[in-house]
A = this chain, B = another copy of it.
Amino acid sequence: MSLAKPAFPAPDHDHGRCTAEALTHAEAVCEQRSQKFTPIRRQVLQALLSSHRPLGAYEVIDELAKSMPRPAPITVYRALDFLMANGLVHRIESRNAYLACAHDHDATSAVAFLICERCGLVGEVPAAPFAQGLNQAARSSGFAPRLSVVEITGTCTHCQTHA
C-alpha cells in the first residue's frame, strides 16, 4: 500500500489497486511509445496480473477461457511477445512462465526474481546492487555479458513465519 512498492508482494496488499496501477502504467507506456494497447493485449496482461505468480502460456489461455472464447496459442504468444518487448511482462526462465511486471523500472535495467517455493509468488528486486560483481565475474573470463538471468528460489517472509 506504500508508494514505493516492496520487492515481494505482501499477502495483505491491495491487489485491486496493484492491478489497476499496472494497467494504467501499461496504457501510459503504450501511449508514450505509440503502441496499441489492444483488447487482447490488455486481457493477457490482466490474466497475468490476477496473481503475482508466473503463468505458463497455457495457463494464460486457461485463464482467458474463463471470460471469452478460448484463444489460440498463437494469439497469446503474440500478446506476450508484445508485452515483453514493451517491458510490461517478464519471462521467468526457470519456469518457462510469464510474470506481469508491476514496477515502473527502466526496461534496460536488470532485475532479479525471488521465487517462493512455498506459495509460488514472485517478487522483483533491482539487480543494480550486485550487477557489477556479476559482470565483473563474467568479464574476468573475457566474456562480454549482455543479459543476465537471475532467479532466486527460497522462502518469502510470509511463508517463513507461517511454517
Please report A residues at the B interface, Cβ cutoff 8 Å.
6-8, 93-94, 96, 112, 114, 116-117, 123, 125-127, 129-130, 133-134, 136-138, 140-157, 160
Oligomer: number of copies: 2
Within the complex, what minimum Cβ distance (angstroms) separates A155 from chain B? 5
Q: Using A150-B148, A150-B149 as known contacts, say yes or no to A143 and B130 having CB atoms under 8 A apart.
A: no
Residues of B within 8 A of A114 (CB): 138, 141, 143, 145
Q: How far is the CA of A152 from the CA of B152 in the complex (A)?
A: 14
- Please name the 7 residue pairs, one residue from A and one from B, whose CB atoms are nearest each other, closest first: A130-B133, A142-B157, A93-B94, A7-B141, A145-B154, A146-B154, A149-B151
- Report whether over half of chain A's contact residues are helix, strand or loop; otherwise say mixed: mixed
- Whether B112 lies near A141 (C-beta < 8 A) is no
23 interchain pairs, CB-CB under 8 A = A6-B141, A7-B141, A8-B141, A8-B142, A93-B93, A93-B94, A93-B149, A94-B149, A112-B134, A123-B141, A125-B141, A129-B133, A130-B136, A133-B133, A134-B150, A141-B157, A145-B152, A145-B153, A146-B154, A147-B152, A148-B152, A149-B150, A149-B152
